[in-house]
Structure 1
Amino acid sequence: MPLMTLVSERRLNAARLVGANTFALVAQLVVHMPSGYFGAADEVTLLGGIYAAFLLLSTALGTLGQFRAWSWSTRFIPLVLSVNIGIFIAPMMTSPIISSIAIIWNLVVLLGFVFPSHNAATIHKMRDRHYEGDEQSVRWLSENGRALRHLLTASLILTTAVVGYEVSGQLLATAATLALNIASILLSVPMMLGLFRQGYRVAILVALPILVILFFLGSPAIVLLLLAFYQIMALTILLFQGQLSSDLLDYFFEYPALLLLAAFAALTLLGTLLLSFPAASATGVSISAVDAFFTATSAACITGLIVLDTPTDFSLFGHVVIIILIQLGGMGIMVISTFATLILGSRLGLRAEKALEEVLDLRGSKNAYKLTVFIVSSTLLIELVGAIFLSVGYHHHGHDWPQAIWYGVFHAISAFCHAGFALQSDSIMMFREDPFALMVFSALIVLGSIGFIVLAALWQWFQGDRQRLGLHARVVGIATVVFIVLGIVLFAICEWNASMADLGLRDKFMNAVLQSVTLRSAGFNSVDVALFHPATILFMMFFMFVGGAPGSAGGGIKLTTFVILIAAIRGIALGQPRVVLFKRQIPQDLVYRAAAITVISMLIGLSLLFVLLLTQPLPFEVLAFEAISAIGTVGLSLGATPQLNAFGKLVVILVIFIGRIGPLALALTLGQGKPARIGYPEARIMVG
């Protein structure tokens, strides 16, 4: 075996021992054996203390033996792992989960010794694309990369358990976790120095959590949390050096629809993990996994359907997690990562640029980069202005300034991103007689619904570039105005003497405006939805199904899709062979794509409704409204979602995910195939 491979194996073995023994040390504090050798949870018995000393001593000896290349250490480490497995068999009777995890962890590491992979260093050899010309960094990664990856992963898992899920309140558990964190960070320093030598600013960004720690030295939990941020970034950088990760990214860049799917899935799973922490709950007790999964999906997919009451069931930490998920889901993970790359002075690879162009529906990387910067900067600017105005509104309604500012920021982001999450149990009904606040909410929702391409065109127009607006901008602009006016008229007709009966003329009009703009995706309500007339419910479902514009935070089949279908019907009625909008012919593949997106969305919505009717004991109209709200990622509800059982929640989660990813993924996927070169005889069948 080559010398470099031997060194890599030994250091990986040492890292495996450190990780397994540290986890075993914490696990023996967590297990509950009132009459056993470990005692009750967080109790240190005499035998427990002896076992802890054994773990510390064996870790030191095994690690030293591997670094000194002592032959006996390769046999010593499996012996220690076997002891760990044996000692956690008895606690399985009283603490099956943590004991099973400890056994599985040590067993997996032990199998790595019994069945070693001698070519692992070659398979996982670090690529040098980020370290071109820096042989020292490449060599270091080849020798220590796998060990560092193992330590970073182990410390993140342990930090999640000790800090996130608070499995142990023992100082020893915190100290052991902190020690493992420090070991992994110290080992990562040469990699970061290599990045810094090459002039990559990401090294400075990664180091920021370490610097912030200096302000929180008195709080071990916050220190461990900041160390976890550092380790996540370091592990991400390390993984991107591997051939497997590179090939996987290249594959995703080849198929942008899969890239979107993977990005939103990863964001949702991370949100689920964070929202399942006890700290995210207002009671300090973890919410159920299904409820955490539902809330994370609803926030990341900017839907707003909830199974728990956001203001009362979640803590400040939970609210922060939710709003971060909304912001990331609203702007798009690929857009944010591209913007971060530009800020750090780098550019995407050719395949990544191509994927970005397809996601943004642009031609040319220069235009894609410009739009990316515009998306992030305009989003933050609009949300900042909205937050200022809403903060004033909340302060006017009795909130002190710190709370008013937080509420203003939260609701500005939620409104612009069309999430519909609110920090009041009745959404924004407190503003039903406040025209200023309703106007701010309406403006944020409209700006978030027209799409960034239209926003960019309007920005150029206001800057003096009086060129004629493109077809897309004109279609979206006119359709948006038509839907807003139509929504105001219909809502006023249906609700004037119903849910708005107690309001004055001015307030009736402003509430009609708010409800009109919020119907197509935002999900806020300023009047009581339970009082809505059945006719209102019907046209609301239609508006929710249509949704916002492409490239916006809105859901549904999208405005332009609906306009193309209406234009196609008009063309058929007039005998025109092609769809024409504003004296421009629409490509036939776009017409097919619009029809496909509409039909597939209808089928998904009907399938969801069928499943819900089959499994949930709720009225038809309530479940139908909920189904369309989910597929359109709107978030308006007639109260059915909190009453769903676990199966119903999981089905709605799936449909929310499809509703957010589906139309865009279909638009990216449909039409990618090569045109068939074979022609067939034409034949007619009866339709209609």
Structure 2
Amino acid sequence: MLKIGRIKLNYTEIIAFGTMGIILIGAFLLSLPVSSKSGETTPFIDSLFTSASALCVTGLVVYDTFTHWSLFGQSVILLLIQIGGLGFMTVITLFSMFLRRKIGLKERRLLMESANTLKIGGIVLLVKKIIIGTIFFESIGALILTLSFYPEMGLEAGIFNGIFHSISAFCNAGFDLMGKYGQFSSLTVYSDNIVVNMTIMILIISGGTGFVVWDDIVSSHVCFRKFQLHTKIVLITTAALILISAMLFFVVENDHSMINMNIKEKILASLFQSVTPRTAGFSTINLNELSEGGSLLTIILMIIGGSPGSTAGGIKTTTFITLLTAAWASASQRTDILIFKRRLETDTLKKASSITTIYMTIALISIIFISAIQEFPLKEIMFEVFSALGTVGLSLGITPSLNSLSKIIIALLMYGGKVGVLSIAAVIAEKKESAPLSRPFERIIIG
């Protein structure tokens, strides 16, 4: 608990309000004339939307990033993406380290909440590893992408594009500078480039796996038997989702969005499309040409998202697996939820159920509101809402056509997806002390 004057804030509230503060600062900077290529002031609502999308590492845009924003504006967006990917508390800790300031217990508690880890011990060391790991992955990615972009873009543009897309991919942001080849074209021009595709996919997966998982992998010397249960669940679920989704995309999109591609492009596009909906926002195919099955599969992947303590959004892989195994245990009439011969706590299922329920409730209410405000096809609204709440960034093209109220709703969804729907609910909910008694027990019928 932190006290500011007469106001008392818990750690979740500090993170929620701190994130909101950075979004507002970013919106102010992006609204300045120097941030646009035309030299004109960008409407504040559009600057706020872009700032929220960048800090919440989403990627939904009302303007094409390359054609509208100047180098200064693009740099502000890139900085917001990096802060959002690391977490603003991690960035503050980084400055504290440079200033050789001691990290107190309150800061450590905030870091624990921000990094979504279970232990306060060794949290500063974990933050150092997060920073070093981020620099490592983004630097390697930037180098490879620069070498790929340089022949077509030249040295200066190739370097900037390499750095920009590497950070955007690792932070699962989905912002791109490919507007030079066509506005809102994303990476469609590189759909047959194996190096670009594989580099972007590896960066997305690396960022979406979670820093805690990478720390466990290194600490366990890449020995699967020594991995924590959390790490095992994340790795196996991630691999399964990618492989199964890629095969499904290859089948359902063969005669639709991938009809004009050769076999190599279809395999690459299927793999890419199985990775990017889990909160990255890049695309190598025209999403408006997706089949109904492909659109539904994309939405499902957007809902699942990445893993806890990562740059990704969604309900998270561990939540998804907890609900599946709980359903299987219930169908098998087993009391315990078992995964890898380990029993999950009842509180874990309670939290997973709460997250999913709140998540879907917010999404459905938002879909109803936007449907009432603007006359878009239901599929396009659903796509937009789940993309925003899952901090994905994929769109069927309606983002620039959103009115001010719809933009505010989508921006709030991106914010909620970044901070966490359970955290938002905890901030909003009234705090009440539990009554010191046990209420009468009674059964109800379920199912």
Give the structure-2-normalised TM-score.
Answer: 0.93
Q: CA deviation at 1:535?
A: 0.8
The aligned counterpart of 1:305 is 60
- The alpha-carbon deviation at position 256 of structure 1 amounts to 1.6
Name 1:341's counterpart in structure 2. Answer: 96
Indicate which of 544, 551, 569 corresponds to 2:309. Answer: 551
In the aligned structure 2, how far is the partner of 1:674 from the partner of 1:590?
A: 22
Question: Which residue of structure 1 aligns with residue 197 of structure 2?
Answer: 438
- Give runs of aligned pairs for residues 45-124 of structure 1, distance below 5 A: none
Contact map agreement 1:613 1:623 (CA 8 A) in 2:
yes
The amino acid that maps onto 1:255 is N
2:11 paired with 1:256: yes
> Is this contact kept in 2: 1:257–1:664, CA < 8 A?
no
Q: Is the 8 A contact 2:355 2:422 kept in 1?
A: no
Equivalent position SS for 1:308: coil
How far has the Cα of 1:332 moved from its partner?
0.2
The structure whose residues are more often helix, as a share, is 1
- Residue 454 of structure 1 corresponds to 213
Matches within 5 A, 1:202-281: 247-248=3-4, 255-281=10-36
Q: Distance in 2 between matches of 1:250 and 1:331?
A: 31
Gaps of 5+ in 1: 1-245
Q: How far is 1:681 from its partner?
A: 3.0
Structure 1 match to 2:145: 390
Shift of 1:584: 1.3
- Counterpart CA distance in 2 for 1:584 and 1:673 is 34
Of 286, 291, 299, 2:41 maps to: 286
Q: Look up the match of 1:403.
A: 157
Letter in 1 for 2:104: G
Match runs of 1:597-608 below 5 Å? 597-608=355-366
Given that 2:81 and 2:168 are in contact with CA atoms closer than 8 Å, whether structure 1 keeps it comes out as yes
CA gap 1:460/1:497 in 2 versus in 1, 3 angstroms: same
Supply the AA of the counterpart residue of 1:261.
A
Q: Does the CA contact (< 8 Å) of 1:250 and 1:351 recur in 2?
A: no
Of 405, 420, 441, which aligns to 2:174? 420
Q: Secondary structure at the match of 1:247?
A: strand
For residue 528 of structure 1, what is the aligned residue in structure 2? 286
CA 1:354–1:405 in structure 2 vs 1: closer, same or farther (change >3 Å)?
A: same
- After superposition, the Cα gap between the structure-2 partners of 1:419 and 1:616, relative to the gap in structure 1 and judged at 3 Å, is same
Which stretch of the first structure deviates more once superposed, 315-324 or 647-656? 647-656
Contact 2:371–2:378 (Cα < 8 Å) also in 1: yes
Code of the residue aligned with 1:567 in structure 2: it is T
Deviation digits for residues 94-138 of structure 1, max 9, x if unmatched? xxxxxxxxxxxxxxxxxxxxxxxxxxxxxxxxxxxxxxxxxxxxx
* Alignment partners' CA distance in 1, 2:7 and 2:315: 27
Change (3 A) 1:646 1:674: closer
Written as runs of structure 1 = structure 2, the 5 A alignment for 1:350-361 is 350-361=105-116
Structure 2 unaligned segments of length 5 or more: list them: none
Q: Structure 1 residue 352: deviation in Å?
A: 2.1
1:526-568 residue CA offsets vs partner (Å, 9 max, x unmatched) = 0111111111001111110111000011111111111111111
> Against the structure 1 CA distance between its residues 674 and 465, is the aligned structure 2 distance closer, same or farther, given a 3 Å change threshold?
farther
Instruction: Provide closer, same or farther for how the CA distance between residues 648 and 668 of structure 1 changes in structure 2, counting only shifts above 3 A.
Output: closer
Counterpart AA for 2:205:
V
Q: For the Cα contact (< 8 Å) 1:448–1:553, is it kept in 2?
A: yes
Aligned equivalents of 2:188, 2:22: Cα separation in 1: 31
Q: 1-side partners of 2:224 and 2:300: how far apart?
A: 35
The answer (yes or no) to whether the contact 2:130–2:211 under 8 Å persists in 1 is yes
Cα deviation, 1:629-674, whole Å, max 9, x if unaligned, reads: 111111000011111111111111111111111246269879x988
Structure 1 residues 425-462: Cα deviation after superposition (integer angstroms, max 9, x where no partner): 30011110111110001100000111000111222344
Q: Which amino acid counterpart does residue 382 of structure 2 have in structure 1?
A: A
The residue identity in structure 1 corresponding to 2:177 is: L
1:44 is matched with which residue?
Answer: none
CA separation of 1:432/1:249 partners in 2, compared to 1, >3 Å: closer, same or farther?
Answer: farther
Following superposition of structure 1 onto structure 2, how do residues 457-606 of structure 1 map, counting pairs within 5 Å? Answer: 457-462=216-221, 468-606=226-364
2:294 alignment partner, SS class: helix
Does the 8 A contact of 2:108 with 2:120 survive in 1?
yes
Choose from 642, 648, 651 the match for 2:409.
651
1:290 is paired with a residue whose SS is helix
Tell me the CA shift for residue 675 of structure 1: 7.1
Greater relative CO (CA pairs within 8 A, separation 6+): 2
Q: Which residue of 2 aligns with 1:78?
A: none
CA distance in 1, matches of 2:21, 2:414: 15
Query: Alpha-carbon deviations, 1:483-521, whole Å to 9, x = none?
Result: 101110111111122222222212211111111110110
Residue-by-residue CA offset, 1:320-340 (whole Å, 9 max, x unaligned): 000000000110000111122
Which residue type is aligned with residue 528 of structure 1?
A: N
- TM-score in terms of structure 1 length: 0.61
Residue 53 of structure 1: aligned partner? none
Partner Cα distance (2:98, 2:400) in 1: 42
The amino acid across from 2:65 in the alignment is T
- Aligned to 1:678, the other structure's residue is in SS state coil
Deviation at 1:289? 0.9
Map 1:359-378; keep pairs closer than 5 Å: 359-362=114-117, 365-378=120-133
Q: Give the superposition deviation at 1:287.
A: 1.1
SS in 1 for 2:423: helix
**Matched-pair contact (CA < 8 Å) for 1:271–1:321:** yes
Q: What whole-Å deviation, never above 9, does each CA across 1:366-388 have from its counterpart, x for those lacking one? A: 41011100111101110000000
Work out the CA distance in 2 between the residues paired with 1:294 and 1:609: 18
Aligned counterpart in structure 1 of residue 83 of structure 2, from 309, 314, 328: 328
Conserved in 2, the CA contact under 8 Å of 1:414 and 1:422? yes
Residue in 2 that maps onto 1:614: 372
Q: Percent identity?
A: 33
Q: State how far apart, in whole Å, the 1-side matches of 2:5 and 2:129 are.
A: 25
Moved more, 531-540 or 346-355: 346-355
Max radius of gyration: which structure? 1
Shift of 1:361: 4.2
Which whole-Å CA distance do the structure 2 matches of 1:531 and 1:546 have between them? Answer: 23
Amino acid at match of 1:418: N
Offset of residue 590 of structure 1: 1.5
Q: C-alpha separation between the residues in 2 aligned to 1:675 and 1:586?
A: 25
User: Are the structure 2 counterparts of residues 584 and 249 from structure 1 closer, same or farther at C-alpha, using a change threshold of 3 Å?
Assistant: farther
The reply to whether residue 636 of structure 1 matches residue 394 of structure 2 is yes
Report how far residue 624 of structure 1 moved: 1.1
- Aligned mates of 1:272, 1:265 — CA distance in 2: 11
Deviations 1:36-76 (A, max 9, x none): xxxxxxxxxxxxxxxxxxxxxxxxxxxxxxxxxxxxxxxxx
Q: 1:626 to 1:501 in 2, by over 3 A?
A: same
Contact 1:571 1:577 (8 Å CA) reproduced: yes
Deviations 1:364-423 (A, max 9, x none): 544101110011110111000000000011113x11011001000000000000111000
Q: C-alpha distance in 2, partners of 1:338/1:405?
A: 28
**Contact residue 172 and residue 204 of structure 2 kept, 8 A:** yes
Q: Indicate the residue corresponding to 1:317 in structure 2.
A: 72
Q: 1:667 to 1:566 in 2, by over 3 A?
A: farther
Q: 1:677 Cα shift?
A: 5.0
